[in-house]
Each structure stands twice: as structure tokens, then as C-alpha cells.
Amino acid sequence: MSEFHTVCKVQELREGEGKTVAVGKKLVAVFLVEGNPFAIDDCCPHMGASLSGGYVESGIVTCPWHAWRFRVTDGTWADNPRIKIGCHSVRVVGDDVQVQLASPTAERTS
């Protein structure tokens, strides 16, 4: 099990915007949804766009390149719920946002 890593301050996050952070060598997109932070892989499985640059509404980020949509709360592809991207545990300690990488980083559900 990996550890939690401090990635930014909670004040750096904005509702409706993603933020790319590095956890080791991995890029993660962190979002604030109704005051709670969530973290998913910052790499669209279609062609690799950064999801943190996507449009966010109602807890769903739309990829800025070709509009695939993912729930930021659990990484589910909104248009095909059998497929998920990596979703990582997040906690706030004081002002620090901390992320614990999940493994594996992408999965299919049956």
C-alpha cells in the first residue's frame, strides 16, 4: 500500500477547475467538488490529454480534446460505466491536500 503524499494546499483548488499534481512520477488531476477534493489519473485513456484542463460540471470532467467524460469522484467513464480510470484516495490534513495512489491505475469492471 502506498503512502499519502502532500500535493498542494487546499486553497489552491477551485470548484469547477482541475489541478495537475505529481505524485512521484505519476501525474494526477485533483478536483474540488462541493468542497471535497478528489483525484483521478491526469491522462485520458483515449489519446492522453490532461484531464485537469477539462470542463467540470456536476462532478464530471469533460476531456478537453474529444469530450470523453469521467466522474471525478470515482474515475468512471460517464458514457460507459464498465470502464474506469485510476481514482486515488485524498485527504486534507491542516491545509495540505494529500493523495495516496491507487493500484492498479486503470481497471475494467465487468
State which of residues 31, 38, 68, 70 lies at the interface with ligand FES (CB under 6 A).
Answer: 68
Please tell me the count of residues contacting ligand FES according to CB under 6 A: 8
Give strand ranges (E) for 24-80.
Answer: 26-33, 36-41, 55-57, 60-62, 69-71
**Considering only residues 72-101, where is the footprint of ligand FES by CB under 6 A?**
none
State which of residues 30, 39, 56, 63 lies at the interface with ligand FES (CB under 6 A).
Answer: 63
Of the pair 36, 81, the CB lying nearest ligand FES is at: 81
**Residue pair 75/108 in contact by the 8 Å Cβ criterion:** no
Give the x-and-dash track for 5-44 against ligand FES (CB under 6 A). Answer: ---------------------------------------x
For the bound state, the minimum distance from the C-beta of residue 26 to ligand FES, rounded and expressed in Å, comes to 18
Bridge partners (DSSP) listed for residue 32:
15, 37
Give strand ranges (E) for the chain.
Answer: 4-9, 18-23, 26-33, 36-41, 55-57, 60-62, 69-71, 83-85, 87-93, 96-100, 106-108
Binding site for ligand FES (CB under 6 A): 44, 46-47, 49, 63, 65-66, 68
